[in-house]
Amino acid sequence: MWSALDYPCSYGPEGPDCDPYCLYDIVNDPTEKKDLSKENPDMLKKLVERYNSYSKEPRDMQDQGYHSEDDIPKDPNACNCFVATAELPNIIFVLVDDWGFADVGFKNPAISSPNFDHLAKTGLVLNRHYVYMYCSPSRASLLTGRWPHHTHQWNLGNNSTAGTNLAMTMIPAKLKAANYATHMVGKWHQGFFDPRYLPINRGFDTSSGFLCGSEDHMTQNAICAIDYWKNNAPDPRNGTYDAYIYRDDLTDIINSHNTNEPLFLYLPLHNVHLPLQAPKEWLDIYPANSTCEKRHTLQAMISVADNVTGHLVELLKKKGIWDNTIMVISADNGGAHCSGSNYPLRGCKETLFEGGVRSLAFVNGGLLPESRRGQSTDGFIHIADWYTTFCKLAGVDPDDSGTGKFPVDGLDVWPIITGENEKTQHEEIVLGYNFDFNHPGQGAIIVGNFKLLVGLQNAFECDSLGWRPLDYPCSNGLEGPDCDPYCLYDIINDPTEKNDLSKKNPEILNKLLDRYHSYSMEPRDMQDQGYHSQFSVPRDPDACKYMQSNVCVLCSCFVATAKLPNIVFVLVDDWGFADVGFRNPAISSPNFDQLAKTGLVLNRHYVFKYCAPSRASLLTGRWPHHVYQWNLATDATAGTNLNMTMFPAKLKAANYSTHMVGKWHQGFFDPRYLPINRGFDTSSGFLCGSEDHMTQNAICAIDYWKNNAPDPRNGTYDAYIYRDDLTDIINSHNTDEPLFLYLPLHNVHLPLQAPKEWLDIYPANSTCDKRHTLQAMVSVADNVTGHLVELLKKKGLWDNTIMVISADNGGAHCSGSNYPLRGCKETLFEGGVRSLAFVNGGLLPESRRGQSTDGFIHIADWYTTFCKLAGVDPDDSGTGKFSVDGLDVWPIITGENEKTQHEEIVLGYNFDFNHPGQGAIIVGNFKLLVGLQNAFECDSLGWRPLNYPCSNGLEGPDCDPYCLYDIINDPTEKNDLSKKNPEILSKLLDRYHSYSMEPRDMQDQGYHSQFSVPRDPDACKYMQSNVCVLCSCFVATAKLPNIVFVLVDDWGFADVGFRNPAISSPNFDQLAKTGLVLNRHYVFKYCAPSRASLLTGRWPHHVYQWNLATDATAGTNLNMTMFPAKLKAANYSTHMVGKWHQGFFDPRYLPINRGFDTSSGYLCGWVDHFNQKQGCAVDCWKNNAPDPRNGTYDSYYYRDDLTNIVNNHDANNPLFIYLPLHNVHTPLEAPKEWLDIYPANSTCKTRHTLQAMVSVADNVTGHLVELLKEKEMWDNTIMVISADNGGDQCVASNYPLRGCKYTFFEGGVRSLAFVNGGLLPESRRGQSTDGFIHISDWYTTFCKLAGVDPDDSGTGKFPVDGLDVWPIITGENEKTQHQEIVLGYNFSSHGAIIVDNYKLIVGSQNARCDPLMWTPLDFPCSNGRVGPNCDPYCLYDIINDPSEENDLSNKNQEMLKKLLDRYNSYSKEPRDMQDQGYHSMGAIPHDPKACDYMKANGGYWRPWKNV
């Protein structure tokens, strides 16, 4: 209400409450009478997004981790109110296994459960108590206080070599700190392969029961051995119904308990889990159920569980400890399909419907307040909450944060139990995240009233999607549709999940999807401990052998001989999908045909689109973008990450002999990259990516290598040499050792060459003149492979061998045939990435011979599979590398399980070999392609005839920006669904873009394009002094290039003579006319951040976005290496003349201490051009001291300094000059001799002054060019001229662009820029380019030109964002390398981002003189057309609408959402590094005493801190 002035207790007028929101304009409505939340949804959305952005902050720092009043830690012993005896409470948790929501007497009269009924009737029933959808994860949540996906979501198999993270402190261990006696009786299911995982070692004083997930209730047999355990040893009491043994153990525990100690008892009963078994005395009380034949057994099992629980209550009462006890009884998940009843809820165990995750639960005990007895509560509780609640009751700290684990998720729900506060404390609960037990992406989240389900839920022969009758769960109840891809329910008003709102309420759907997908940012190696599917949990096939020597049903087939298998991998280079005899009768490949016919053909085997990355995936087990996606050039100074363990090195741990014969292509510039140093005992073949098959010449030198030295056998067709080497390896192999042989053949890669004896069997092909050569090369590869098989058979090794044969990518364009697939090598269509592949060998089960499989396999999977076959751990996690992506696909090969284990496979991510953002991902049935695929003179977009791949087949449209295919039903990719199925498109785009959050310095080792891979132009010189064809153009003189960067301050886009005849700038005009104009060169919207981006290579929000005031005690992050310091490593002379504006309060920030040999000019953001006065002092500085030359027009003394620098420069050293001119920044001042050439402008009084200032800047730049020419340095120079931002409002012209300095419109951030110098290729002179460049790119470009590493990663700073744009400058590749550029992020609620063709502007842009208009060419102060502001957003297609006339934010909601998602993704970055923590101009620290220091120290601006 609004209270009266002096009668606040009286009842004033009342207003509605804020449920869920209120929105007020508190400037115009300070009394908050008018709620605008419904009238102004755009503003509401903006503020809700800003509010929710704080959810990304560290939770342990917000409110010190206390997120509500009820969350504040309290000492329950302060008043001892709830423990009248001053004793800590006894805590009992009874967990009933697979207990249906309605499988209890008080919900279903057909069940006898008098004890449960009484405990519920006299206790508190929990209506909204949530668990996981099956056993082990629910237990882990209870015991560790984490949500399932923060501990694990997999059901541990009996032979699993995994368990609940040892770094997590379980609740009994916490309670030990309060001197609790802790006991467990029943089912453990938290891992036991290692003794450290046993309950006795996780905090329990005693434990009895069984360790795995299920056993025979009567005999305790679990598959191949007895599972009954007590403390640290087997328990011989097996042979008795397990619940009866539990009852006896409970009696012993309670009767022997010392009542002076508090008690914690965990009773995870085995009932009512499968197998359904009950003692006869309990079965006899239930009639058989004709609908569900086992239903009466389940009912009897409930009665047994009830009996054991009742017995425990009696024991506690007799011991006199019930009054000081709190007891919780809960199911671990919903009732199982076809036997348990979850009426009226939908679904069952192993689904995320309420019937699977809302558990039957209630609380009793003497400590339950009397007011709560006989009640129920709708308080929102997750099983993980009991961890925190029990800790608080026991007076111990629930905190369990630390390395290698997520913090505790559970909250204290004691206020709900006592009735003190029944409101839900959870903002949200993740019921499961992206887990693929049966279906890819399965998960669920509850936020407020709403629940989102992701992915298919139906996985069973008994349909789990419906609503079953109360006591006939096997009958056909009402069925509902599955969640594909989503379901959305209001579970407060629709707890039975009958009304899916996903299509009716897209706003809520998107909100919950955003919350759900936010968890994709969490460390993958901690979610589920890195095992992201049921099938990826490691298992030991010899576990049963260990348990019982004469019984083994789990042992894998391949270890029957007690020998490890021999493993052979044959990789055929550029082998087309149809380039084999069994698919194409025009090809002779009898050995391949026989191996496929008697083996297993892999229909869905995926690789990368070209050579080196596929090999890297195979050898390291990573997806290409997690190792690299570039094709290593011969002179590349890069290779497969040395931190990654290749699988031959893994196999060495199992005493394998490891050999490689053929093409390496994984780097060799450094000996550490050689195959002999990556795990191979021997290697022979060639090291680079291609060579002449006959001579082994690779560009400028011979490439043939054996082990550690060159191999002189060159001059023979390479495949023939391989055949000889294979003979030697097999014949000399010790058969007591297992063998690994890797045969990466060079055939059928270019150059297309074959011996005459093979060419002669094929007629020439008139359509493809080289086709018959390729066919002959296939036959040679077939011959070598057949020879290898024969060698293995003769040696007696074949029967214990598994052999995989695969292509490394699709057939090449214009020669290879990928029929019927679309596309070819170097595209991400199926023809480029679905490889010809098959498996054979003596270890292939007989049942799989002559078969094919649609099992989904990636080449990276063989790493894990081979490690598992060899009995070694495939784990290869560690610093500086992604963890292994590959899964064990042996179950697909054997037929044990052909279902896809991969939730998704990233075929390529954001790789710009030929097109920006090129990538692809497969999720379920669908494949998304991102970016243009056609990169060749021979069209690669179509479907080619079987044996005429060069003829004109049917062509298809390219993917711009996306294609979406159902590759199960449309494997030839003929029907693009991207427009027909936007929901699936959005889902796959979300998954694809989630990989943008991964560390950029690890994706592709930081080389994000083919062109950014480092190369050594002198490599050929090293190999052969008189041959070099790889040397870059700019080092033809053997000198590093001179680099000059001229930065003109506040220079308008049209303020130059070649764009505006009213301005005289003959030098600029000539440099642009004979140089290369950069049409799309981007900067920040004002001075200091643009300079910081240039000097550090970061986008503005990764260094800072504030304009430094003169007295600011801040500057460009000292941790960041500026590029003059980088160039010093290449012996550059480095000089700066002009405006610094990067901080100077501390001497460490001066240019002389940031990499410059000399500097002159001024330090702050502007000065009087004539007297260099800035406020209270003069700012004129040289090197380390004030410069007394003030009093001269600043550009004139810059000219003098340039003369001295160039004339005194030693031309034997490379030169870097940075010339950040003060012109044409305010104050608008020019010498009279320049003013006199311009008439006054009546519209803009100072316009003629600005024109004169441009002419002065032009004159200084022309003078510098002449100096370089006179010094004979120009021919070896590259010069870049750019503005630092758009022209200033009311005086400069940015025609035809919209806006000006201080705005994110193109007029503020697209700068006037051009390049010249002797090193600019002749073909680029007089041209312009639309290549997309950001000012930060010059950092990387200049480093690469100078031959220094641009990497500047490290603590306390973002890595370098800039890319190498030299290919744009030279014309080698004008296509944009950037997927996106952030022009500014969230600074004072303003920002902008460009993604592909589109630009998003966030926030109002209006400042001072209206910047929203399109200014006339030379009358920028006149009233031009004005456009609407961006409140909250503008969206423009800046390729087709560079002047930003058509705002698409309302017309193209899909694109708006895409760019908003990309923009908002930067909210995940560390806030203390974005802008160094100063998130507004007003937040920058200032020193009000700075002027006093200057006045006292000579009247010059200078550093005043740490002097």
The residues assigned a catalytic role are 135, 189
Q: Name the residue among 369, 370, 366, 415 with its Cα closest to residue 389.
A: 415
d(CA 1311, CA 1295): 12
Q: Which amino acid is at 476?
A: N
Place of tokens 């032009």: 1258
3-state secondary structure of 57: coil
Structure tokens at 1270: 């006179």
Q: How many CB atoms lie within 10 A of CB 194?
A: 12
- In single-letter form, the type of residue at position 37 comes to S
Residue 764 buriedness (CB in 10 A; 0-12 / 13-18 / 19+): exposed
> What distance separates the 2 farthest-apart alpha carbons in the chain?
115
Residues 1361, 1099 contacting (CB under 8 angstroms): yes
DSSP string, 884-923: P-----HHHHHTS--S---SEEEEEEEE-SSSTTEEEEEE
How many beta carbons lie within 10 A of that of residue 896, not counting itself? 11
Helix (H, G, I), strand (E, B) or coil at 25: coil
Residues 6+ apart with CB under 8 A from 1357: 1117, 1119, 1120, 1473
DSSP symbol at 70? G
User: 1317 Cβ partners below 8 Å, 6+ apart?
Assistant: 1042, 1044, 1075, 1274, 1277, 1278, 1279
Q: Kind and range of the H or E element at 248? A: helix 242-256
1000 near 1359, Cβ under 8 Å?
Answer: yes
Residue 686 bridge partners (DSSP): 663
For the sheet containing 361-364, what is the strand order?
233-234, 229-230, 206-210, 181-187, 263-268, 90-96, 325-331, 361-364, 124-130, 375-382
1203 strand-pairing partners: none
Task: State the pairing for strand pair 124-130/375-382.
Answer: parallel
Name which of 330, 353, 332, 331 is nearest 443 in CA terms. 353
What's the full length of the chain, in residues?
A: 1507
Q: Is 243 helix (H, G, I), strand (E, B) or coil?
A: helix
Helical residues (DSSP H) of 821-885, grouped into ranges: 830-833, 861-869
- Number of neighbours of residue 707 by Cβ within 10 angstroms: 13
**Residues 1167, 1145: Cα–Cα separation, whole Å:** 17
| Nearest alpha-carbon partner for 367 in 326, 418, 408 | 326
Distance of CA 997 to CAs 925, 1000, 1002, 1357, 1462, Å? 25, 8, 11, 16, 10
Tokens linked to 489: 């329910």
**Residue 206 near residue 231 (C-beta atoms within 8 A):** yes
For residue 1172, give both structure tokens.
Answer: 């260099």
Residues 701, 1022: Cα–Cα separation, whole Å: 10
Q: Please, which residues have CB within 8 angstroms of residue 1152's CB and are 6 or more apart in sequence?
A: 1158, 1159, 1183, 1184
